[in-house]
Every structure is written in C-alpha cells, then in structure tokens.
Chains A and B, each alone.
Chain A
Amino acid sequence: MATMASNRIPPAPVEDPTNKAFFDGCREGKLLIGRCLDTGKPFFYPRGISPFTLSTNVRLEPSKGEGVIYSWSIQRGKDPYCLAYVTLDEGVTMMTNIVDCDLDTIRCGQRVRLVWKPSDGGPPLPMFTPV
C-alpha cells in the first residue's frame, strides 16, 4: 500500500543576521553550503565561522543539489512525512524531507535530487525527491 507524502507546509525558519545569506540563497533557488577557506573543507549547516578553525575565512557555495539518502524515517499520523539526512555529492550531510514520492519506497543509499517547497511565510526550503 502506497503512502504518498503529504502536502505539509513547513513552518518558516527563524532567520537571523548570520543565517540570512543562506535563506536569501533559498529565495533565489540556490542551495548553499559552507566552505572553509583555511582548510578547503565543506561544512553544513552554514555558519559565519569555520567549524574547523573558528576563523571567519568562509564563503557560501552553491551545491549541485544531488546526493544520496543517508537515513530516513516517516512520522506516522494524519499527515505522514519523511524526515531524512541526505549526503550531498559535495560531501556534507543535511537534514531535510523526502517529498513527491511513495514514502513506502524510500531506502538508505537511494539517489535523490533537490526540489524547492514553500514554507509558511518564509523562503522556499530545500527538499529532495528520488531520482
């Protein structure tokens, strides 16, 4: 029996002066990840300092928006939805939702691609759907 992902509208993320650049990217349809310019390493969630050196020598870079499901679960109830960790091809893992699919077919290791979904009064949010 198939369980279609609900049309749950997520609440808007709380924006602050530091994370605003990431969510402005979402408004432009760009999924941004952090890059530490001291070490060259990517990081997520994006922040105003490098999580490797704590220096502010960081920048935001667009992700290609492709990756694999690292793990997932479905919150059962009236409007079931899938919480997941997706590992982007750039090498960082982010929390997200898997959408636009039969929830009962979701598996670890599955390839997924980025889709944008509206939030309740905030920027569109990056989610993923099976390729």
Chain B
Amino acid sequence: MTNAFIVGAFEHPTRKADDKSTAQLHAEVAYGALQDAGLSVDDIDGYLCAGDAPGMGGLSMVEHLNLRKLRYIDTTETGGSSYVIHVGHAAEMIKAGKCNICLITLAGRPRAEGMQTGTAVRSAGSGVPDEPFEIPYGRTIATMHAMVAQRHMYEFGTTSEQLAWVKVAASHHAQYNPHAMLPKVVTVEDVLNSPMIADPLHRLDCCVISDGGGALIVAREEIARQLKRPLVKIRGWGEAIKHQMAGQVDLTWSASVQSGKIAFEMAGCKPSDIKYASIYDSFTISVIIQLEDLGFCEKGQGGKFVADGNLISGVGKLPFNTDGGGLCNNHPANRGGMTKVIEAVRQARGEAHPAVQVKDHSLVLANGKGGSLCTRHGCGTVILEAL
C-alpha cells in the first residue's frame, strides 16, 4: 500500500496536432492536469517523463515548463508503459518523503508527422546490440505482435473471431466518446473483413495512430485530502521486464505476469475484486495476453474470456477501456499507458461517460505494456482505490 493519490488527470482532446509542437503539447497537458487537481506549477516538486519528451532526459521539459522546485526527476523509459510505471515510482518517492507532488507528462504527434508506426521497420538508435539480428528481417510492430497471436492460436486454439471481440468491445465504448478517432460500433465480421495487415492481424485488430498526450499528478495523502477532487488512492503497483532470454523465446506470456503479481500483493486484493480494467491495447492480442497474465482468466483462455461482449461495460463481467482505448479512441505518441491510467482514474472517480461508468468503482486497475511483446518489453500495473 502507498500513501499516494492521483489528484489530477488530463487527456489532450487533439487527435491531430498540425499546429502544435510536442513541447507545447506537454505543456498543455501539464496545465490541464494542474487545473483538474486545483494546484499550480510551483506546487510541483517531482517530474517524470519518458522518451517522447524532447531533449536530454527530462531537462528540456523541466526548463520549458519552468519547474523550479524539483527534488525528484525520473525518466524511466519502457515505451508505452512508462507512465504506468511512473505512477508507481512517484508513489514510492512520496512514501519515502523525497517529494510531495509529482507531475507526469506524455505527448507526441506521430500522425501530423506522417509516421508509419506499425508497418515500417524502426530502429531504436545506434549501437543497439540486438538490432543487427532483427532489423534485416524486416520486423515491424505489426508482424511482431502478429507472431504472438499466431503462437497463441497454435497453442491454445484462439481464433480470429475471439481477437475481434476485443475491438468490438472497444468500439461499443468509443461511440460515447466525442473525441474518439473511430466512434463507429463495429462487428466481429467488420474486423474479419478488414484488410490483413500481418497474419493473423487485420487492420481493425490494430490500434489507431494519433497525436495528443496526457498528464497525471500524484500527491501525498495529506495534500489529496485538502483538494476538492474525489480521492483515488494508489493501492498497489508493479513493474517488470521481459525479453528473448538469450534465445529461450516464449511468446505466450508477458511481463504482466510479474508486474500484476507484485501489484496485487501490494494492494492486498485479487483479480476478481477489480471492477474495471484499463488494458494496453496496441493490438487485440495484447489485451488477451495481459488479461491472462494478470489472472483475470487462465492462461490460454483469454480468447474465450473476451468473446461475446465480456469486456463491454454493462454487458460483460470485466468492462475495459471505456474511453475506446487505443483501438478506437487514441494512442498519443504511439504510447498508450498514460491514457490507460487516465480512464481508470475517471472510472474510480465516477466520472466516466454515464453510458460506460461502472456502478461499483471501488477498485480499478490500469495495465501498460511498452516495447514489443515479441522481443523486449516492460509492463506496469497500478491498482487504484476510490475512497
């Protein structure tokens, strides 16, 4: 258990930022989260950001935001899950007495920049030791996640129809989100009839490419109780990394096995206690793997678990991504962890759209996965309690 609370959350409404720089987006989401919390910039004494922030580590953003009272900076980079892990790091530093109020920001504009996020071969920079053994083979984000899906189908009999149900559920939620890029409700057939991108993943199995960003403010309990917003406590969190293990590749599980276990142990609860889950949805298969790894169902049963609307709020047992998620709403900077936490905070506060708000929102979870499920990735899990 921590003594930290999420007191501010803000999601940028833009989905295509032709007229704003990445630094400007970071600044706008920081301001939005401060306004949401009822705090001002000089209250911030901890700052966390990741690889989407322009400049060396967080230095340029700290200057751009003119943060002058920092006692803690953290630039942990695990791709899209970074911000989930940042929530945990902020909570720990607050618990240790190192700081009181932490700001976490994410922003980017891959859509305005015309980036081919999923189907182009991308390098992480020079001197990366694994890349000479991978890049010549044309590995893309789409084919790598498709290999995870292919193996899941082979080992467990998961079907394309079951994968499609993840998208169908997300679309049912997105119809209520005026900012969602894909607000139209789709069917299993729509997903299966969309073009094949990387076998067995169709276009509608893939998340959107969007600009935008988001920010969170984490503060110690005494401060949270002085503010006017509903209380959302960080009850547990965990982080973990998984990779190819020197050639012992196993695509059937993710680092969420460990990050989830650690988070549930800290929170003192179990998956069946969770009333709402934000699950990182870069692809439909990503959701199935994480649901299994977090313990919402047995390994290999994720396909059956998500079928027939089980993830749709008001219909199924585990409402997920009620903002429409990365599959339908947005995936700012190609990094979906921030928006996963933000929607979990909305649910915990009882401030999600009324059509998708869960009735009992006492315990909610947000899970992030960053990097590639196929090669190396980091997972972060946070469990939030509405007090």
Which of chain B's residues has its CB closest to A127's CB? B137
Residue among B139, B142, B196, B248 making CB contact with A92, cutoff 8 Å: B248
Whether A11 is near chain B, meaning CB under 8 Å from some CB there, is yes
Query: How far is A85 from B143 in the complex, measured between Cα atoms in Å?
Result: 11
A107 contact set on B, CB distance < 8 A:
154
Q: Is the CB of A47 within 8 A of B129?
A: yes
Q: Is the CB of B130 within 8 A of A45?
A: yes
Q: Mark A8-52, 1 if CB is under 8 A from B, else 0.
A: 101111111011000100000000011000000011110100011
B97 contact set on A, CB distance < 8 A:
none
Binds A, one of B26-34, B144-152, B295-303, B339-347: B144-152
Q: Is the CB of A73 within 8 A of B146?
A: yes
Whether B268 is near chain A, meaning CB under 8 Å from some CB there, is no
Query: How far is A19 from B138 in the complex, measured between Cα atoms in Å?
Result: 19
B195 contact set on A, CB distance < 8 A:
76
Which of chain A's residues has its CB closest to B123's CB? A14
**Total contacting residues, chain B, CB less than 8 A:** 39
Which of chain A's residues has its CB closest to B149's CB? A73
How close is B315's CB to chain A, nearest CB, in angstroms? 31
Q: Mark B204-218, 1 if CB is under 8 A from A, else 0.
A: 000000000000000
Residue among B133, B138, B140, B244 making CB contact with A13, cutoff 8 Å: B133
Q: Is the CB of B198 within 8 A of A74?
A: yes
Given A42-B247, A75-B198: A109 touches B154 (CB 8 Å cut-off): yes
A18 contact set on B, CB distance < 8 A:
129
How close is A68's CB to chain B, nearest CB, in angstroms? 11
Q: Is the CB of B247 within 8 A of A10?
A: no
Given A11-B136, A14-B132, A94-B133: A43 touches B246 (CB 8 Å cut-off): yes
Q: How large is the interface on A (under 10, 10 to 19, 20 to 34, 35 or more residues)?
A: 35 or more
Whether B21 is near chain A, meaning CB under 8 Å from some CB there, is no
A13 contact set on B, CB distance < 8 A:
132-133, 135-136
B131 contact set on A, CB distance < 8 A:
14
Q: Is the CB of A71 within 8 A of B150?
A: yes
A45 contact set on B, CB distance < 8 A:
129-130, 133, 247
Given A16-B127, A75-B119, A76-B197: A93 touches B249 (CB 8 Å cut-off): yes
Q: Is the CB of B246 within 8 A of A84?
A: no
How close is A69's CB to chain B, nearest CB, in angstroms? 9
Whether B351 is near chain A, meaning CB under 8 Å from some CB there, is no
Query: How far is A107 from B151 in the complex, measured between Cα atoms in Å?
Result: 10
Q: Is the CB of B132 within 8 A of A76?
A: no
Query: How far is A70 from B250 in the complex, measured between Cα atoms in Å?
Result: 9
Q: Is the CB of B119 within 8 A of A93?
A: no
Q: Mark A92-115, 1 if CB is under 8 A from B, else 0.
A: 111111000000000111000000
Q: Is the CB of A75 within 8 A of B247?
A: no
Query: How far is A81 from B149 in the complex, measured between Cα atoms in Å?
Result: 17
Whether B39 is near chain A, meaning CB under 8 Å from some CB there, is no
Whether B199 is near chain A, meaning CB under 8 Å from some CB there, is yes
Which of chain A's residues has its CB closest to B121's CB? A11
Q: Is the CB of B138 within 8 A of A8?
A: yes
Q: Is the CB of B148 within 8 A of A95?
A: no
Residue among A8, A15, A42, A52 making CB contact with B132, cutoff 8 Å: A15
Residue among B130, B135, B248 making CB contact with A93, cutoff 8 Å: B248
Given A43-B247, A71-B154: A97 touches B138 (CB 8 Å cut-off): yes
Residue among B149, B199, B251 making CB contact with A76, cutoff 8 Å: B199
Q: Is the CB of B151 within 8 A of A108?
A: yes
Which of chain A's residues has its CB closest to B133's CB? A45
How close is A120's CB to chain B, nearest CB, in angstroms? 9
Q: Which of B142, B154, B200 has the most CB of A within 10 A?
A: B154
Given A13-B136, A71-B148: A19 touches B129 (CB 8 Å cut-off): yes
Whether B18 is near chain A, meaning CB under 8 Å from some CB there, is no
A109 contact set on B, CB distance < 8 A:
154
Whether A72 is near chain B, meaning CB under 8 Å from some CB there, is yes
Pick the 4 closest A-B CB pairs, nearest first. Answer: A92-B247, A73-B146, A44-B247, A13-B132
> Which B residues are closer than 8 A to A by beta carbons?
119, 126-127, 129-140, 142-144, 146-151, 154, 195-201, 244, 246-249, 251, 375
